[in-house]
């Protein structure tokens, strides 16, 4: 079975975090294949890891409590949830379909300021599912909050991040 990741594929790390593959690149000196991928939580960091390590099995001696077989396991984003036995997450559909366009615009924003502007400009357009996905990805709010409370939790978080990120010396 070919486990080579493809750009756009979603993966769950064995430590239960979601990532999206950006590309499979080649190291210019060693010619080693590397996976370039982005976190779908927190500050949405971009990482690179050797392909062999990305597709390797979890070291179950070091992590005996982990049930997942591979370090990164592909997940399918369809039918409104991650198709795995993990907790349910909202779907992230193709941007060409128009589905979740607000969520995709929010995720594509590069800075906290841009995210905050998109959130405010599209306040009335965000669906409860999109707000839940943002809260899940950014690890803020509680699942039992009403959509309006989730919106304000995200807004407050972004204001705080924008304030302190913007105040740092560059």
Q: In the chain, how many H helices and how many E strands?
A: 5, 7
| Predicted confidence (pLDDT) at residue 78 exceeds the cutoff of 90 | no
Pick from 52, 91, 92: nearest CA to 72: 52
Q: What is the pLDDT of residue 40?
A: 86
pLDDT value for 160: 87
pLDDT of residue 77: 65
In this prediction, residue 135 has a pLDDT band, given cuts at 50, 70 and 90, of confident
Rounded Cα distance between 136 and 99, Å, is: 18
Q: Give pLDDT, residue 95.
A: 40
pLDDT tens column, 93-127: 444 444 578 888 888 888 888 999 999 999 999 88
- Is a pLDDT exceeding 90 seen at residue 139? no
Q: Which two tokens stand for residue 62?
A: 């070091």
Q: How wide is the angle at C-alpha 98 spanned by C-alphas 150 and 112, nearest 5°?
A: 45
* % of the chain beyond a pLDDT of 90: 41
The structure tokens 């756009």 sit at: 8
CA angle (168 as vertex; 167, 170 as ends), nearest 5: 125
pLDDT in tens, 14-73: 998 899 999 999 999 999 999 999 988 877 889 999 999 999 999 999 999 988 999 999
Domain ranges across the chain: 10-82, 95-167
Report in angstroms the alpha-carbon separations of 131 from 9, 39, 69, 80.
22, 18, 31, 14
Question: Does residue 90 have a pLDDT over 80?
Answer: no
**For residue 170, pLDDT beyond 50:** no
CATH architecture, range 10-82: Roll (2.30)
Instruction: Inform me whether the pLDDT recorded for 86 exceeds 70.
Output: no
Distances (CA, A) of 159 to 103, 147, 164: 18, 18, 9
């Amino acid at each position: 079975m070919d486990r080579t990741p493809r750009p756009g594929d979603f993966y769950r790390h064995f430590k239960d975090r979601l990532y999206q593959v950006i590309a499979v690149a080649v190291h210019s000196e060693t010619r080693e294949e590397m996976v370039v991928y982005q976190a779908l939580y927190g500050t949405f960091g971009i990482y690179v890891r050797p392909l062999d390590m990305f597709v390797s099995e979890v070291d179950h001696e070091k992590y005996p409590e982990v049930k997942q077989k591979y370090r990164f396991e592909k997940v399918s984003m369809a039918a409104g949830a991650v198709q795995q036995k993990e907790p349910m997450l909202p779907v992230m559909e193709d941007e060409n379909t128009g589905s979740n366009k607000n969520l995709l615009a929010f995720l594509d924003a590069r800075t906290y300021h841009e995210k905050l502007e998109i959130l405010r400009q599209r306040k009335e357009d965000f669906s409860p599912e999109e707000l839940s996905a943002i809260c899940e990805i950014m690890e803020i709010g509680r699942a039992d909050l009403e959509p309006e409370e989730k919106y304000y939790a995200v807004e407050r978080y972004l204001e705080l991040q924008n304030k302190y990120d913007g105040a740092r010396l560059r």
